């Protein structure tokens, strides 16, 4: 590989990148660290540290309980209205609360308890564990004869239109899909799939975990019924930060969350003995919402609002396309192949790179005693190295270095000194 020309090409792409200065919002203590795992746990935004310090020292430390009336109580709605702008929703259609799993549970129960004669939930075999488990759990809990049908993938990367057309039928109550698939980065046509679901009388739930903050989303344009998503991946809200829930305005009154917590009550501080649901999205809250992680997220949302989703998507496509062309040119002969869609319109912001030694290659990349760089992607069984491109802090030069390092590790068989033992988290 002509390493110099590769580095030069990447450097000139960086020089022309309108977002190049944004990486300074995400300071690194180790200049040899390259982080390609923003699709699992986003980096810490520098301004979040200062915001968190204020929330902890001043708001919690000095204002104490008074701080609830000074912003904390309304935080789930305020954060929701800011996330709404990133996903094409109205400011009164999104609320921040609970985990993705719990929000899915609430909407699954809300829909399936009133699904009439319809008995089917459609998802796909590429979907993330929790999404499928929650559906299975709700079907089991309600015990009304619902069943889950998983659309099959011919290539392990995409789901065909034919599968969609045959699986989503008049017996379908709900279609529940990830907009961007966590393993392959395959991205559905949100408007078309939602239209198809509605044409068969089914409701549509989109999981935006691998999309929000990475690709533009327009829930209102697609007329989506529900959406959930997490905030610790591309949105950089920090480990375990609270997720968000979208319910289309005209459905908010009609449906009910099965978790009647006090934050969802119309008058929580009356402490009435009978629950009366609040209006709008607040009726989908359960109990207390974490304030600390919400504060970290605010600093990150400031950065997204400055950068603009169109700029972010443009750079994301350029990054994944650049990497795929490097794979084609330099890495294919070394046993690598892409496990992601080739066309950008069908691809989110990461690339799955397949190799039969994927796991040990990953270990070599991450090992800081091996080579000049510590490079962190992640591994997804059985043979995927997942490379996440976060346009706010990743650069084209980093992609060039990754390419050179992958080639060096395989050409020198450097992965052979690592074993196949996995830790608790991969």
Ligand X SMILES: *Cc1c(COP(=O)(O)O)cnc(C)c1O
CA distance 180 to 267: 38
Tracing tokens 């739930």 back to the chain, one arrives at: 205
C-beta of 135: minimal distance to ligand X in Å? 12
393 contacts 35 by C-beta, under 8 angstroms? yes
- Cβ burial of 21 (10 Å; 0-12, 13-18, 19+) is exposed
DSSP calls for 161-176:
HHHHHHHS-TTEEEEE
Show contacts with ligand X in window 213-232 (CB under 6 A). 230
Q: Which of 91, 99, 220, 252 binds ligand X (CB under 6 A)?
A: 99
Closer to ligand X by CB, 59 or 352: give it: 352
Under the criterion CB under 6 A, does residue 130 sit at the interface with ligand X?
yes
Written as six digits, the tokens of 163 are: 């599968």
Give me the residues paired with residue 203 across strands: 174
Nearer to ligand X, 196 or 230 (CB): 230
Distance in angstroms (rounded) separating the CA atoms of residues 47 and 242: 19
Query: What residues act catalytically?
Result: 128, 207, 232-233, 386
Name the nearest CA neighbour of 328 among 342, 313, 344: 342
Q: Alpha helix locations (H) across 200-308?
A: 219-222, 249-252, 291-307
- Is residue 107 involved in binding ligand X (CB under 6 A)? no
Contact 351, 324 (CB under 8 A): yes
Six token digits for residue 264 = 């969802």
Closest listed residue to residue 231, CA positions, set 294, 141, 323:
294
Nearer to ligand X by Cβ, of 59 and 178: the residue is: 178
Which span sits near ligand X by CB under 6 A: 20-28, 202-210, 290-298, 398-406?
202-210
Give the sign of the dihedral formed by CA 230, CA 241, CA 97, CA 292: negative
Q: Is 323 in the site for ligand X (CB under 6 A)?
A: no
Residue 209 within binding range of ligand X, rule CB under 6 A: yes
Minimum CB separation of residue 261 from ligand X in Å reads 17
Binding mask 57-96 for ligand X (x = CB under 6 A): ----------------------------------------
**Residue closer to ligand X, measured from CB, 173 or 211:** 211
Q: What minimum distance in Å lies between the beta carbon of 126 and ligand X?
A: 10
Residues 153-182 that bind ligand X (CB under 6 A): 178, 182
CA geometry: angle 186, 230, 163, nearest 5 deg: 30
What is the closest distance, in whole angstroms, from the C-beta atom of residue 99 to ligand X in the complex? 4
- Residue window 178-197: x/- pattern of binding to ligand X, with contact defined by CB under 6 A: x---x---------------
Residue from the set 131, 298, 370, 398 that interacts with ligand X by CB under 6 A: 131
Alpha-carbon span 149 to 152, nearest angstrom: 9
Burial of 317 (0-12, 13-18, 19+ CB in 10 A): middle
Residue 104 CB, shortest distance to ligand X, in Å, is 8
The least distance separating ligand X from the CB of residue 35, rounded to whole angstroms, comes to 17
Site string for ligand X, 235-274 (x = CB under 6 A): --------x-------------------------------
Q: What is the distance between the alpha carbons of residues 389 and 386, in angstroms, rounded to a whole number?
A: 10
Q: For residues 88 and 229, which CB has a smaller minimum distance to ligand X in the complex?
A: 229
Instruction: Give residues in contact with ligand X (CB under 6 A).
Output: 99-101, 128, 130-131, 178, 182, 207, 209-210, 230, 243
């Amino acid at each position: 590989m002509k390493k110099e020309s590769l580095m030069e090409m990447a450097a000139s792409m960086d020089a022309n990148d309108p977002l190049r200065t944004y990486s300074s919002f995400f300071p690194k203590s180790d200049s040899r660290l390259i982080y390609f795992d923003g699709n699992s746990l986003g980096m810490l935004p520098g301004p979040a540290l200062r915001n968190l310090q204020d929330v902890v020292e001043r708001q919690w430390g000095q204002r104490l309980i008074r701080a609830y009336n000074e912003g904390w109580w309304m935080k789930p709605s305020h954060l929701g209205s800011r996330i709404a702008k990133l996903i094409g929703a109205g400011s009164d259609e999104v609320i921040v609360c609970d985990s993705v799993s719990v929000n899915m549970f609430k909407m699954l129960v809300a829909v399936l308890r009133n699904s009439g004669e319809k008995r089917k939930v459609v998802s796909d075999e590429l979907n993330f564990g929790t999404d499928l488990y929650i559906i299975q759990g709700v079907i089991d809990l309600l015990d009304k004869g619902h069943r889950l049908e998983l659309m099959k993938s011919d290539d392990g990367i995409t789901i065909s239109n034919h599968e969609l057309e045959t699986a989503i039928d008049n017996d379908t109550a709900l279609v529940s899909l990830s907009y961007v698939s966590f393993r392959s980065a395959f991205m559905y046509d949100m408007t078309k799939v939602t239209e198809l679901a509605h044409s068969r009388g089914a409701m549509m739930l989109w999981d935006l975990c691998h999309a929000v903050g990475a690709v533009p989303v327009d829930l209102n344009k697609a007329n989506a019924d529900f959406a959930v998503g997490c905030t610790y991946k591309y949105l950089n809200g920090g480990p375990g930060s609270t997720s968000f829930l979208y319910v289309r305005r005209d459905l908010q009154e009609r449906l009910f969350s099965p978790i009647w917590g006090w934050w969802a009550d119309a008058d929580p501080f009356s402490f009435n003995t009978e629950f009366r649901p609040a209006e709008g999205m607040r009726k989908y809250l359960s109990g207390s919402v974490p304030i600390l992680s919400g504060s970290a997220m605010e600093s990150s949302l400031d950065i997204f609002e400055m950068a603009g989703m169109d700029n972010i998507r443009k750079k994301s496509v350029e990054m994944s396309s650049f990497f795929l062309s490097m794979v084609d040119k330099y890495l294919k002969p070394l046993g690598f192949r892409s496990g992601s869609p080739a066309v950008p319109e069908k691809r989110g912001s990461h690339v799955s790179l397949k190799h039969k030694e994927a796991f040990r290659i990953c270990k070599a990349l991450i090992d800081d005693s091996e080579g000049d760089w510590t490079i962190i992607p992640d591994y997804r069984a059985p043979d995927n190295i997942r490379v996440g491109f976060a346009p706010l802090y990743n650069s084209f030069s980093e992609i060039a270095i990754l390419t050179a390092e992958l080639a060096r590790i395989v050409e020198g068989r450097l992965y052979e000194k690592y074993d196949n033992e996995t830790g608790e988290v991969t």
